[in-house]
Structure 1
Amino acid sequence: MRPTLFKSVLSALFLMLPILIAAQGTITGKVTATADGLPLPAVNVVVKGTTVGTTTDFDGNYEITVDDFPAILVFSSLGYANQEVEVNSAREVNVALDESATGLDEVVVTGLATSVKRSNSANAVASVSAEELTGRTPPSTIDGALYGKFPGAIVNSNSGAPGGGISVKLRGATSITGNTQPLYIVDGVYIDNSSIPGGLNVVSEAAGQGSDSNQDNPSNRIADINPEDIANIEILKGASAAAIYGSRAAAGVVIITTKKGKAGETQFKFSQSTGFSQAINLYGLRNYTEDRVFDFFYSPSDNPADDQASREAANAQVDLFTQARSSGNLIDYEKEIFGEKGLISITNFSMSGGGEKTRFFSGITYNNENGIVKNTGYEKTSLRLNLEHRATDYLKLSLSSNYIYSSSDRGFYNNDNTGTTIGVALVSTYPWYDLFPNADGVYPDYDLGASNILQTRDLVTNNEKINRVIMGGTANLDIYKAEKSTLELILRGGLDFYQLQTRAIFPKELQFQKPSNGGRNGVSVQGETINKNYNLSGFLVHNFFTENNINFRTQAGLTNEFFDRNTDLITATGLVASETNVDQAANTGVDQTRVRQEDAGFFVQEEVNFQDKVIATVGLRGDKSSNNGNANKLAYYPKASLAVSLNEFGFWNENSVWNQFKLRVAYGEAGNFPPSGALFTSYNAFSTDGILGISLRGIRGDSDLKSERQKELEFGTDLSFFGGRLGLTGTYYIKSVDDLVLLASLEPSTGYTQQYVNAGSLQNKGVEISLNAVPFTTENFHWDFGINFFKNNSEITELNVPAYNTGAFGAGLGSYRLEEGKSATQIVGSYPDGLRVIGDGEPDFQMGFNNNLNYKNLQLTFLWQWKQGGDNINLTNLLSDLNGTSADYDDITLDPAGETVNGKFRPNANAEVFVQDASYVRLREIGLYYIMDSKMMPNAFGDTIESIKFGLSGSNLINIFDYNGYDPEVSNFGGGTIFTGVDVTPFPSSKKYMFNVAINF
């Protein structure tokens, strides 16, 4: 190069240097939340169109180098709307992010240690926020707050007794004899949701027809969790999402995240809810006349002496009826039992806050609820402390802790074979009998029945007490951080420990306990369950960004879960004097049930995200368990999914009405363990003349029994329009369950009667649709609503044992039947020509309608639920007919000939008359509130109180159904089976009216 040319080039470079320097620089700033001005950590800051990016620190601060100006910085964080800022030079850029209004940035679970934006998820994962759970009206239990809030779930109340008794079933039938309830995870802790009976069968003898373990009307343990503590619930309905939880996830997974603290000033919240409950519906009293009383009690006989005795007995009842009517003493015992207005009080106080290093949330809730029956009620105290501590820039620790005490008095209800439960005794109690105690507190015996229902109500104890501790801890360690890759170690542990004490006391003065009436001279049943679950896990999560803006996220980890439950049940009969201690009795018996299990496994998953356009995931869970015949054999559960966001491809311009157009497909497998004890043969101990021996229980074990395996393929689309003001989500799924565990009959010559076998398959096909819209929004008025629709059809696709009836009381009264090629929940009845299908327990469809209207400071929210179809087997009708007490006994609406009254037609008709449509339309929740903010407060309070929200709310206030019972939502056999909807004199459901006030300061 010639010197002159060299000088020219050098001069040009010198002149361009300022331009080059000006073209790159460092941007710094702080990111906060618009709502409260608090700093936001872990916000992604990326130079648009490049892979250059960083994240904000614990205080919301960031620093990023820009190679070329002008540039656009994209700020994004899960739960917040993305924001883009154009920068032309190196300077300070502070940004405030709004909470996401579209839900596209909402976070959903994608792995055991990771989450993903909903806009990128390939699975149909439902979410329920804290506002949706408790914002309208405070629920008594968390599972009771899920009604109608998302598609794909059948939430069913098994009992109206205070303290729980609710089953949740996701996407249809998942097992016949095994677990049908989802797995619950609270802050990473595996939660036990057992329903443990209190030993009432020794009095009710319900096991004479069915299982004593599911007719004792116990509560379920997920009811212990305090709804006020919850920040968010995610429901993994299908195996494609739940496969990450392996052998326990076939019935779905419910992931509960509790509230955490935010940096800034300490925030306090106090709320008080007060109200009452009353029965939704009562049968009513029969319209008795002298002729009707005589006709019911008179039984003609060809034997003159018998005929005369029957006539005299009938006339005696007519005389008692006439005397009571003339004196105004006909007593409606149904109103006397179920007519109480149970007072409700729920008090909650919480505080949250924190500083640069540590954040906290703490709360206490006291719930006191009286039932609609005297001496029933529910009391619960919940204490919570959640902590997050940033030990260093690369280490974060968190702790979730919860203590719960509850006491539930549930009464004596449901089926029995002794005529002693309140419900069964009520249908045979006539209003002309005075059963009230005299001045000395002595109750008369009821001449026409086994029990004086008022005495049973007032003197029987059926109590459950819980002391429970739930603790979970997590450590997040950043092992490596670079511009394009990170590596994080996540360690997690959890403990769920509780002591359940059950106490059932039947004093000797009860009519049915007197030896002269064939009683046991008093019964005291004392039970104790010690349950300890703990889980440990560790994961490595690696993120890598390529030059082409492809994100690879790899995670791998190990899990270990331990389950240990011991139940002792001591039954004492022949009580001494007024003693109730189990050692103060003539006879005692002890039952002990121990369940121990250890599970271990691994999980690996790879996620690939190409510019939010195409997101693919593959994963594998491997599990082994002591509950398998071979405890060291691994069962593998794969998953795979693909989501394509067409809106990210630029097919339409920025002014298009489309915000999201995503197509998705997912596949996954999950398992379900065989019932406890199915792998081995158990024996009973007995003694004869002091010589100890063992006897067979009748069920032969099989160590080769395999776990049930669920396989599911789902297709779906997520659409969003008009800036997120209209959204539509649709999912179609095909779910099959293979290796169904069934109870098969054995030849008596084997020495056994039954054996658990893998003998079938079933399939569910269903559709889920959700529509969300914001039709109007102005400065003073806002209206948004949501509609969800769910339909599922099940079929037994393979059955390798003969078809059989199950889940009720025989085909003569209507029974569920397992039969190849038929619905898994079909109901059959016996006819002269054989069995006929007369119903199905599965609904035709379910819908939820949610509305939120805000005008200035006034707020109205309500939720309707519509369940169409699905049949119940209503045997309460049968029992009341047989005793002549049915309210519609004298109506003529069932006999096609128009001749026979209902009360005589039903018991002599086929089972079809007891299989009734359980459809309903129900106003599940409604709330009307007024909100006063700090600007509306007097000066003395304006600087202290941020807001006061007060108003009226209720649940189940409007109920529309033709079902001839207390409530079409009922299940005599509890929630541990798919065969719900058997109605045998239950504890009625209730509606609630509440006044609520909440103060934030």
Structure 2
Amino acid sequence: MQMRKLLLCAWVLLLGITSWAQQAITGTVVDASNNPLSGVSVQLLNSSIGTTTDANGRFSISVPNKTGVLQFSYVGFQTQTIDLATATVDLKVTMQGGGQGNLQEVVVTGIASSVRRSNLANAVSSISAKQLVGTTVQPSMDAALYGKFTGANISANSGSPGGGISVKLRGITSLIANSQPLFIVDGVYYDNSSILPGLNSVSKAAGQGSTDFQDNQSNRIADLDPEDIDRIEILKGASAAAIYGARAATGVVIVTTKRGKSGKPRIELGQSFGVQMQLRKLGMSDWTAQKVVAVFDSSRLALYNASNGKTYNYEDELFGNKGFMSNTRISVSGGNDATKYYLGYTYKDDEGIVKRTGYQKSSFRVNVDQRVTNFLDLSVSANYVNSQADRGYFNNDNTSSTMGVSYVATPNWVNLYPDANGVYPKHPFVPSNFIQTRDLITNREKVERMLVGGTGTWKILNKGIHDLRLIARGGIDQYTLNTIAIFPPDLQFQSGGNGTNGASINGTAITKGSNLSAFLLYSLDISKDLNLRTQAGLTAENFDQDHVLNTATQLIGTQTNVNQAGAVQVQQTKIKQRDRGFFVQEEANYKELVIATVGLRGDRSSRNGDANKLYYFPKGSVAFNVHKLGGGLSLGPISQIKLRGAYGESGNFAPFGAIYSPLVSVGYGGTTGSLINITRGNTNLKPETQKELEMGTDIGAWNNRVTLEFTYYRKIVDDLILKADVALSSGFQDYWQNVAKIRNTGIEIALNATIFDKKDFHWTQTTSFWQNNAIVTRLDVPAFNTGAFGATLGTYRIEEGKSPTQIVGVGRVKEDGADPNTGLAVFGDGEPDFNISSYHTLTYKNFDFSFLLHWKQGGENINLTTFLSDNFGTSHDWNDRDLDPSGQKTNGQYRLSITGTTAQPWVQNASYFRVREMGLTYTMPKEWFRNIATVRVGVSGRNLINVFDYPSYDPEVSNFGIGAISSNVEVTPYPSSKSIHFNVYVTF
């Protein structure tokens, strides 16, 4: 109600405001050789008014009055500014080469404001459209982020098509919640839920060990088309993310999509064709009669001898599909000073490396910016997505039914191929023939999604030293996810008394999210040296999700409808959340010498024990540009020295429903009812709170051709929520409680350099280093193991004074240094020692070459694929003899012989070096096409070069998906892939 009154009052006020006279500013932009520059961005600072230069370098822009500053920016050139008060009638602007790194880019610092990076007091990573998709075709938006910004650890829960990526920013921020940051797309809160498809009813993956995130589900940020994105900003720390309050403890990813610019219509067409293949082949182990007896027993010799020495390459059979990939893109943009538009359409069709898997997606976007009057601007964004992913059936199970488990249980002399009548033989060692499973099962996700957002800006006052605006922003994110999993009754693990005699699992999740905010933004130029900028506003976010999962078993014949079954189970999960808040922020800029910001966010939520209680999240920062002292120091080659410091707090809600004692349905004596669950709710739960101090320096040299950014942070995550045991006499087993604290400390370094900048040859690079260390500093419950499958095989252990991602297991006291009191030894840590990435762009005449290198050092995985394959003698190195100190046992025999006494064999180093992306493009001479179109052709690839000792398909893997802990556990996943693409781009 208060927000409605605010908007109504503002509208009444605006009706009485008269318009100001428009002034047309024209000119030409050229380089140092007087050649016109096309596509230069021309922006009136502190406004939404902007345009770009045409093919002749000309521009025309209408401004409210002849005051203010025009900013001219162009990649590879220094940003220029022109004071309109002293401007000539027809401007001529000369852009100087040498670049300014990325210091002139504008970065979000509040919900309603932004600042140039040269004045920024926070470490905010940004990714441009060129960095995101300019090198090669990306399978999904989340996958496109790999290795492109500091402070992030990214891994996939499997390589299956359609997404499923875990992103952690600056270490562990929760022990139970998922690790994903908050995504905001054009001002709309973008849901990134990971919804269970119900495969557990067949796989029984959650029957032992951790029960979370084991359904091989994807996450919904994959719906966003990377081709639509103009730039991404990652608010990694609480000091930057505090303005988003109780949803921002895991960081914030702000996505801005492409928009139209003034000028004639610009039409861009793109088409790529490619192929993806298995990232790494392991090969299959050879067999002898002696090995058959050693692995199984003598009763299997007859089966082995019956094969007559014939073997089968099952690795190629299962993972050897050369998946055809196609990506079609068209966009149209343009407009004038009053109206700008952008329309984009993408159709993607990717086959997987496993037959009958793949991903298809259609995405249509419309963005419109409209200047309604001289004092009213509107911006609207709309995006419709329709996708389908066939994901196969992999990862952990406790029924030996997934294709991965069946594959590792298959010696290469066992024949699993169907006969002439299409009858598949039964697997002799496990109840699943993976070829039959691949050919007959369905595991499909279908998504239909609509996102609409809008921003209205009312310019209440723009006169002299005052600028006051009222900004209203809102959005709706709505989608329907259908999951279909069908396991026919004639599958080996579903027939003959096995399994459930067929299963049809159909899920429907309807998700609706909305957000609305209104805020005032006031800028006051007290003098030419001092500017104050104030913003204050109200926010409201709503989230509703209704997930119905129907599991039908005992299927009738070949029927797959859920009503054609002997047994049907229905599970419904509803999530409703209402958040309300406010924020205020004050920014002061003195001569661009000192830039200080303070702010406060207050949030209340239905997720809290007291839904009406406000929790407060303050922030403060200061940047000091040393080089501007005394009007500008002479520092030789040093062109910038900035010292910066920031502090902020942000939060994370308790798990949905944790404040209540949930009810479970029961049936007894022909009647039904509800019982209170064994977990007691806690109405006194507080949000998990993150408090972070960040300090750093930015240094630029040689007119900022080289820039260095260094950041140190110390982040305390307090009031972490866990289930704590209670006395059984209470009638409960456990309850939710704030019981733990974690400290993360780390450093981030980014080096940007223009290495060469000549007439025909340009070379720029960005190299980043990041490192994080975490310690549990408070634990009000006894130390406990979590996140894997027990101490025998390796597990995570939460223990005060230790890393929350330490990997422990049973161990030998002398060899492994095991604690004699617990019998546990520390074998590694899921957290990497460090990451280094390096992105390079080289241009020679009409050729563009770019590549991305990524080195991750340290960090261990719990590799249970090796454990399972050892048990069946199929490990690729089973016959090697380089592990047993005595040299007597093969590697497979040795690992199995020490199982139960130590978990050491299964905890393995996950370091790697890889060329993540590589692309070469040639721009054909425009005169070849009568100067009508610009045509570029090229070839590109992903993950083409990979160097690692990790003895499996890919060290970037996680059986537990987006879980905060245990994102480094491997259990027979869908392998990762590498790809190569041929691309054509045409611009009119």
Q: Same fold by TM-score, threshold 0.5 exceeded?
A: yes
Partner of 1:741: 721
Work out the CA distance in 1 between the residues paired with 2:713 and 2:667: 55
Q: Does residue 491 in structure 1 map to residue 468 in structure 2?
A: no
Paired residues of 1:243 and 1:670 also in contact (CA < 8 A) = yes
CA offsets, 1:496-549, max 9 Å, x none?
0000000000001111111x2422111000000000000000010000011352
Query: Shift of residue 295 of structure 1?
Result: 2.9
Paired residues of 1:127 and 1:235 also in contact (CA < 8 A) = yes
Q: Secondary structure at the match of 2:415?
A: coil
- Ranges in structure 2 where 5+ consecutive residues have no aligned partner: 1-21, 31-36, 48-57, 813-819
Name the Cα RMSD after superposition. Answer: 2.2
Query: Shift of residue 441 of structure 1?
Result: 1.9
Counterpart code for 2:44: A
Work out the CA distance in 2 between the residues paired with 1:82 and 1:427: 58
Query: Shift of residue 57 of structure 1?
Result: 12
Paired residues of 2:41 and 2:72 also in contact (CA < 8 A) = no
Paired residues of 2:178 and 2:962 also in contact (CA < 8 A) = no
Work out the CA distance in 1 between the residues paired with 2:713 and 2:547: 39
Aligned with 2:443 (options 462, 482, 486): 462
Query: Shift of residue 36 of structure 1?
Result: 2.8
Work out the CA distance in 2 between the residues paired with 1:522 and 1:107: 57
Distance 1:449-1:772 versus aligned 2 partners, 3 A rule: same
Paired residues of 2:358 and 2:391 also in contact (CA < 8 A) = yes
Paired residues of 1:32 and 1:39 also in contact (CA < 8 A) = no
Partner of 1:262: 261
Paired residues of 1:294 and 1:318 also in contact (CA < 8 A) = no
Counterpart code for 2:71: S
Partner of 2:916: 924
Partner of 1:943: 931
Partner of 1:94: 91
Work out the CA distance in 2 between the residues paired with 1:495 and 1:90: 43
Partner of 1:21: none
Distance 1:438-1:319 versus aligned 2 partners, 3 A rule: same
Distance 1:835-1:39 versus aligned 2 partners, 3 A rule: closer
Aligned with 1:384 (options 358, 365, 380): 365
Aligned with 1:320 (options 293, 303, 306): 306
Paired residues of 1:164 and 1:223 also in contact (CA < 8 A) = yes
Map 1:32-181; keep pairs closer than 5 Å.
Answer: 35-36=37-38, 40-43=42-45, 59-61=61-63, 64=66, 75-76=70-71, 81-83=78-80, 91-96=88-93, 98=95, 101-181=100-180
Distance 1:999-1:486 versus aligned 2 partners, 3 A rule: same
Partner of 2:973: 986
Distance 1:579-1:726 versus aligned 2 partners, 3 A rule: same
Paired residues of 1:33 and 1:40 also in contact (CA < 8 A) = no
Work out the CA distance in 2 between the residues paired with 1:628 and 1:554: 30
Counterpart code for 1:952: V
Partner of 1:528: 508
CA offsets, 1:914-934, max 9 Å, x none?
100000001100001111242
Distance 1:97-1:552 versus aligned 2 partners, 3 A rule: farther
Distance 1:471-1:90 versus aligned 2 partners, 3 A rule: closer
Map 1:361-760; keep pairs closer than 5 Å.
Answer: 361-514=342-495, 516-547=496-527, 549-650=529-630, 656-760=636-740
Query: Shift of residue 37 of structure 1?
Result: 6.2
Work out the CA distance in 1 between the residues paired with 2:891 and 2:94: 66
Distance 1:58-1:798 versus aligned 2 partners, 3 A rule: farther
Paired residues of 2:72 and 2:80 also in contact (CA < 8 A) = no
- Ranges in structure 1 where 5+ consecutive residues have no aligned partner: 1-25, 46-55, 66-72, 299-310
Work out the CA distance in 2 between the residues paired with 1:31 and 1:613: 31
Paired residues of 1:43 and 1:77 also in contact (CA < 8 A) = no
CA offsets, 1:831-872, max 9 Å, x none?
363111111000000000111111111111111100000000
Work out the CA distance in 1 between the residues paired with 2:412 and 2:891: 20
Q: Does residue 335 in structure 1 map to residue 335 in structure 2?
A: no
Paired residues of 1:42 and 1:57 also in contact (CA < 8 A) = no
Map 1:131-280; keep pairs closer than 5 Å.
Answer: 131-280=130-279
Query: Shift of residue 650 of structure 1?
Result: 4.0
Counterpart code for 2:421: D
Work out the CA distance in 2 between the residues paired with 1:44 and 1:196: 41
Counterpart code for 2:914: R
Q: Secondary structure at the match of 2:643?
A: strand
CA offsets, 1:908-957, max 9 Å, x none?
321011100000001100001111242xx33xx32321x11111100111
Aligned with 1:896 (options 885, 898, 901): 885
Query: Shift of residue 290 of structure 1?
Result: 2.4
Work out the CA distance in 1 between the residues paired with 2:155 and 2:756: 34
Partner of 1:302: none
Distance 1:497-1:409 versus aligned 2 partners, 3 A rule: same
Paired residues of 1:262 and 1:359 also in contact (CA < 8 A) = yes
Distance 1:29-1:465 versus aligned 2 partners, 3 A rule: closer
Query: Shift of residue 651 of structure 1?
Result: 7.3
Q: Secondary structure at the match of 1:133?
A: helix
CA offsets, 1:320-344, max 9 Å, x none?
24x1x2xxx3112122101111110
CA offsets, 1:863-909, max 9 Å, x none?
11000000000111111111111111121122222222111111232
Query: Shift of residue 587 of structure 1?
Result: 0.5
Query: Shift of residue 270 of structure 1?
Result: 0.4
Partner of 1:6: none
Distance 1:87-1:461 versus aligned 2 partners, 3 A rule: closer
Paired residues of 1:843 and 1:870 also in contact (CA < 8 A) = yes
Paired residues of 1:871 and 1:915 also in contact (CA < 8 A) = yes
Aligned with 1:959 (options 929, 943, 946): 946
Bigger mean CA deviation after superposition, 648-657 or 813-822: 648-657
Partner of 1:303: none
CA offsets, 1:162-196, max 9 Å, x none?
11111111001100012321000000000111111
Q: Structure 1 length as normaliser, TM-score?
A: 0.91
Work out the CA distance in 1 between the residues paired with 2:43 and 2:771: 41
Work out the CA distance in 2 between the residues paired with 1:545 and 1:673: 40
Bigger mean CA deviation after superposition, 891-900 or 188-197: 891-900
Aligned with 2:964 (options 977, 980, 999): 977
Larger Rg: 1
Q: Structure 2 length as normaliser, TM-score?
A: 0.92
Query: Shift of residue 752 of structure 1?
Result: 2.4
Counterpart code for 2:642: K
Paired residues of 2:836 and 2:855 also in contact (CA < 8 A) = yes
Q: Does residue 880 in structure 1 map to residue 833 in structure 2?
A: no
Work out the CA distance in 2 between the residues paired with 1:355 and 1:269: 19
Work out the CA distance in 2 between the residues paired with 1:740 and 1:800: 10
Query: Shift of residue 96 of structure 1?
Result: 3.8
Partner of 2:894: 905
Counterpart code for 2:708: L
Counterpart code for 1:942: R
Paired residues of 1:42 and 1:77 also in contact (CA < 8 A) = no
Query: Shift of residue 28 of structure 1?
Result: 8.0
Paired residues of 2:327 and 2:346 also in contact (CA < 8 A) = yes
Paired residues of 2:44 and 2:71 also in contact (CA < 8 A) = no
Q: Secondary structure at the match of 1:723?
A: coil
Counterpart code for 1:964: P
